[in-house]
C-alpha cells in the first residue's frame, strides 16, 4: 500500500515555521493525506491545526531553521525555497 503525504514550508517575512513533533523531531508542517484529499487541501489543514501530533511550533530565522531541522532533506528543501523567495522578491 502506497502512503501519500504532503507538506510545505511556511514563511512569515524572513522567518520560517518549524514544528516539534511527538518524537521530538524539528520538521516542517506535513502529514498523511486522508482518503480523497488533495495535497493542497492537506497542506492547508496541517498549517491550520493538524494538532494531534504537533507538540510545539514557532517561527525562527532561516539560519536557525537550517541548524534545527532534524532531517537533511528538509534542510535541502529550505535552501531551495529560500532561494526562490529571494529571487521572487529580487533580493
Predicted local distance difference test score (pLDDT) of residue 54: 56
HSE, CB side, 13 Å, CA atoms: give it for residue 32. 6
In this prediction the pTM is 0.73
Q: Which domains does the chain have, with CATH numbers?
A: 5-88 (3.90.79.10)
Find out whether 5 and 32 touch, Cβ atoms under 8 Å: yes
Q: How confident is the model at residue 48 (pLDDT cuts 50, 70, 90)?
A: very low
Find out whether 15 and 58 touch, Cβ atoms under 8 Å: no
Predicted local distance difference test score (pLDDT) of residue 49: 45
Task: Provide the 3-class DSSP secondary structure of residue 80.
Answer: helix
For the stretch 12-26, pLDDT in tens is: 888 999 988 888 899
Amino acid at each position: 500500500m502506497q502512503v501519500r503525504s504532503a507538506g510545505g514550508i511556511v514563511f512569515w517575512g524572513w522567518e520560517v515555521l518549524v514544528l516539534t513533533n511527538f518524537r521530538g523531531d524539528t520538521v516542517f508542517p506535513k502529514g498523511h493525506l486522508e482518503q480523497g484529499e488533495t495535497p493542497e487541501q492537506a497542506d492547508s489543514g496541517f498549517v491550520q491545526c493538524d494538532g494531534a501530533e504537533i507538540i510545539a511550533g514557532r517561527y525562527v530565522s532561516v539560519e536557525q531553521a537550517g541548524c534545527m531541522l532534524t532531517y537533511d532533506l528538509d534542510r535541502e528543501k529550505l535552501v531551495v525555497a529560500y532561494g526562490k523567495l529571494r529571487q521572487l522578491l529580487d533580493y
